[in-house]
């Protein structure tokens, strides 16, 4: 079928929806223009959506929140708590009498919950054997590419208080 519209006695749909197999792969200029216009509109809407979301984005707030009393976490043990919101599980590990670390419990690969492997002294994800350093949360092994977000802790008297998160956006 030629690119120009020839005078035809048959209806338009017969031209545009050919029943001849040989014509099925043929795309006329109008169809190409429709395709390009719709694709461009889709991309424009997508980019506008991204722009609006970036305007509405607010940096997360990290309130100072007591997460544990020192006497409830003996050396070598853990406590699970939520920070900064009630749905964000974190794991606190007391590594010695005067040191402790806390991380998001959500694995940076596919969000399984990590646990403290005391023998190996690291955090492990059971889903795909992703291992994280207890010292700074960096990836030791496995598919995760980003370190675990670290919860910043302060000691206030006999309490440990979460005061922020280090999201550690460096790749492993
Ligand atoms: S979800 Fe943790 S390693 Fe895959």
Walk along the chain (172 residues) in steps of 10 and give the mean pLDDT of each run: 59 71 70 92 97 90 94 95 94 95 97 96 96 96 96 95 84 38
User: Residue 161 pairs with which residues in a beta bridge?
Assistant: 66, 154
Q: Which helix or strand (DSSP H or E) is residue 47 part of?
A: helix 29-56
Q: Provide the pLDDT for residue 10.
A: 73
Ligand 1 mutation pick, 109, 123, 132, 147, max ligand atoms within 8 A of CB: 109
Q: Is the CB of 143 under 6 A from ligand 1?
A: yes
Show Cβ contacts of residue 164 under 8 Å, excluding neighbours closer than 6 positions: 62, 151, 152
Write down the residue that tokens 């960096």 correspond to: 138
Burial label, 73 (beta-carbon count in 10 A; 0-12, 13-18, 19+): middle
């Amino acid at each position: 079928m030629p690119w120009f519209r020839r005078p035809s006695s048959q209806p338009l749909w017969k031209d545009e929806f050919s029943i001849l197999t040989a014509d099925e792969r043929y795309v006329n200029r109008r169809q190409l223009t429709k395709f390009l216009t719709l694709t461009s509109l889709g991309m424009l809407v997508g980019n506008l959506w991204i722009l609006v979301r970036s305007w509405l984005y607010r940096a997360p707030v990290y309130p100072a929140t007591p997460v544990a009393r020192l006497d409830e976490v003996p050396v070598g043990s853990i406590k699970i708590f939520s920070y900064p919101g009630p749905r964000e599980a974190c794991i606190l590990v007391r590594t010695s009498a005067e040191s402790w670390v806390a991380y998001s419990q959500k694995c940076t690969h596919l969000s399984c919950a990590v646990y403290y492997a005391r023998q190996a002294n690291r955090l492990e994800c059971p889903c795909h054997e992703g291992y994280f350093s207890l010292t700074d949360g960096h990836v030791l092994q496995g598919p995760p590419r980003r370190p675990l977000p670290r919860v910043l802790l302060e000691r206030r008297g006999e309490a440990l208080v979460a005061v922020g998160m280090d999201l550690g956006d460096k790749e492993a």
